[in-house]
Amino acid sequence: MFDPNKKLINKIKERGGFINSHAHFDRAFTVTEANMEEVVHYHLFDKWGFIDKFKRQATTQDYLSNIVSAIRMQIKYGVSGAQTFIDVDTVCGFKALEAAQEAKRLYKDNFKLKICSQALKGVIEPKQNALLRDALELDYLDAIGGLPRADRGREQDHLDEILNLGKIYNKRVHVHVDQLNDNLEKETELLARRTMHWGMEGKVTAVHGISIACHPKEYRREVYKMSRDAGLSFISCPTAWIDSRREETLTPTHNAVTPAEEMIAHGLVVAIGSDNIHDVYKPYSTGEMALELKFLLEALHMYDSDTLVDIATKNGRLVIGMEEFKGGRE
């Protein structure tokens, strides 16, 4: 009897296995029996503050334990490589980053780990900026991460700083954008414009991009064209934001998933990530990439197996720098 799921997984295995293009391994397994009932009702922004409690107390060994446990779980689920964002800020210093470096060394023969800075505290405040630059000077990072909302009111300055550093240090840049499923967000457009301004075409990836779907079709087409011109690629993390907004005012009708099918039709490269693994943001998330792909294909009615295999494998390798990415359709 024909089993399309089994055939799809086998094709992904033949192509080298899943790539988890976006994750936060340093926060994996931070949900506990003691804190779960407290955090499950928090808004995202409150969770950003709550995680500081863990970061202040955690040792490098604690971080290493989390990251190694996440890698082992990824290998169990058929993932051959991943890029993890790692907190680099004034709360935890380089503890998480040093742990990630050690995990990368420990698993260098059977798991490809790429490390990207997480900008949860922004990148403009002088001490925070100095830490990021020090991490780059020490060559601790494979990519530079962005979160424009972390420097609220100075979102363009935030992007300009990380894009400038990406150009100076020849690093790829991955930026959290348009996460809240809200038609007031236009961060992807801003990212595309600033990418072209800094001459970083083909070296920048937009993570999430959910709110693009909130806008009318003509605006979406403009964003896709601009993204193509900027050589932007995209990463969808389907289960991370499936619950983001449930309101009566959402138009046009859409779900809380990156509009990958439209992006691909407009010649854009889309990869996939888990975002969370048993952390305070998504306590039940396992990081199982087959499940993430299943959510994506069902939410967007994407049933072409060759496209799905590319999303799960080749496109992931491209966006995290395992293979050369030139921008646009590969």
Identify the weakest region by mean pLDDT among 109-118, 195-204, 217-226, 234-243: 234-243
Q: Tell me what the mean pLDDT of segment 35-61 comes to.
A: 82
**Which position has the higher pLDDT, 36 or 294?**
294
Superfamily holding 19-319? Metal-dependent hydrolases (3.20.20.140)
* pLDDT computed for residue 43 by the predictor: 73
Q: How far apart are the first and last CA of the chain?
A: 34
Locate the DSSP E strands across the chain. 18-23, 79-87, 112-118, 143-146, 172-177, 204-208, 233-236, 270-272
Give me 313's structure tokens: 């494998």
> Residue 329 pLDDT > 50, yes or no?
no
Using alpha carbons, select from 90, 91, 88 the residue that is nearest to residue 101.
Answer: 88
Which whole-number Å values give the CA distances from 52 to 27, 46, 48, 217, 235, in the listed order?
11, 10, 7, 40, 26
Cα(325)–Cα(201) distance, integer angstroms:
10
Q: Tell me what the mean pLDDT of segment 204-231 comes to.
A: 96
Using 50, 70 and 90 to split pLDDT, how confident is the model at 247? low
What is the helix (H) or strand (E) element at residue 213, kind and residue range? none
Cα(323)–Cα(326) distance, integer angstroms:
10
Whether 232 contacts 177, CB under 8 Å: no
Task: Give the three-state DSSP class for 1.
Answer: coil
Which amino acid makes up residue 305?
Answer: S
Cα(326)–Cα(321) distance, integer angstroms:
11
> Residue 39 pLDDT > 90, yes or no?
no
* pLDDT computed for residue 241 by the predictor: 76
Residues with Cβ within 8 Å of 62's Cβ and at least 6 positions away in sequence, in order, are 99
Using alpha carbons, select from 279, 215, 259 the residue that is nearest to residue 44.
Answer: 279
> Residue 240 pLDDT > 50, yes or no?
yes
Percent of the chain having pLDDT more than 70?
94
pLDDT 10s digits, 248-266: 455 455 678 999 999 999 9
* pLDDT computed for residue 309 by the predictor: 98
Domain ranges for the chain, please list them: 19-319
Cα(193)–Cα(229) distance, integer angstroms:
9
Using 50, 70 and 90 to split pLDDT, how confident is the model at 303? very high
Residues with Cβ within 8 Å of 258's Cβ and at least 6 positions away in sequence, in order, are 208, 209, 210, 212, 213, 234, 235, 236, 237, 238, 270, 296
